[in-house]
Amino acid sequence: MKIIGNTILITGGGSGIGRALAERFHTLGNQVIIAGRRAHALAEVTAANSGMKSVVFDAEDRASIRPFASQLAADFPALNVLINNAGIMRPENLLAQPDDLADAEAIVSTNLLGPIRLTAALLPHLRKQPYSAIMNVSSGLAFVPLAPTPTYCATKAAIHSYSQSLRYQLRGTSTEVLELIPPYVATDLMNGASDPRAMPLEKFVAEVMEILATQPSVTEICVENVRRLRGAAESGHYAEVFEGLNEAMSKL
């Protein structure tokens, strides 16, 4: 992926991994637009980064996505990179679920349907650019699930599969498809920011940017901390890694 000379939309850009990526790309001179539900969080980021833009966007709101994409393409005609980062993570007790399954449905709408719908809405515009890229943020938990967050893990596994199919269908075009596979990172997602076992956010993003800078044709961005999860099945250690992960996280 080209890391300079882009106009980049990052969903979930008001905090966590999205904000950290936005600030790194902004520092490199790219035009960055961050999107998210919380206007105050977006405003805080743009105030700290002169020239960065923001737009309020709810990935769960199906009806707003195509109008949002049309307005974005009109306001930023050079837009050529989409980073689908917005996501939510909630614990679920599958043995005592509410009748409405509100948490599970919100997770699916935000983490899976949101990226699929936004990609579909923006792809015609992206394909008009001389170069474009779509980066979908999955998780190490796409490959080895954390049992207390089953729907979150399932959506990330689906994002991994969707990214592979999208990449294949776009082969031979000017649009790249990348997958960013984070490990357990110190963000506010599931209170990871206060857990010393989580990978520091700045260290994670620095390693991501180093991979992008030195491996321009990379399709899966895996920092060292996530390789054990990503390769658990291929290495033949899936059961061991699954048990170890869930035992360790049960002590949170």
- Which residues lie below 8 Å from residue 194, measured CB to CB, with a gap of 6+? none
CA 80, CA 123: separation in Å to the nearest integer?
Answer: 10
Give the H/E segment covering residue 10. Answer: strand 7-11
Q: How far is CA 176 from CA 4, 13, 111, 125, 132, in A?
A: 15, 21, 21, 14, 6
Told to judge if 184 belongs to the known catalytic residues of this protein, a careful annotator would answer no
Q: Which of 131, 152, 162, 238 is catalytic?
A: 152
CA 134, CA 126: separation in Å to the nearest integer?
Answer: 9
> What strands, in cross-sheet order, belong to the sheet with 31-36?
53-56, 31-36, 7-11, 81-84, 132-137, 175-180, 220-221
Q: Return the closest-CA partner of residue 21 out of 225, 201, 190, 193.
A: 201
Where does the chain have alpha helices with state H? Answer: 16-27, 39-48, 62-75, 102-108, 114-127, 150-169, 201-214, 227-230, 232-235, 238-249
CA 117, CA 222: separation in Å to the nearest integer?
Answer: 25
Active site residues: 152
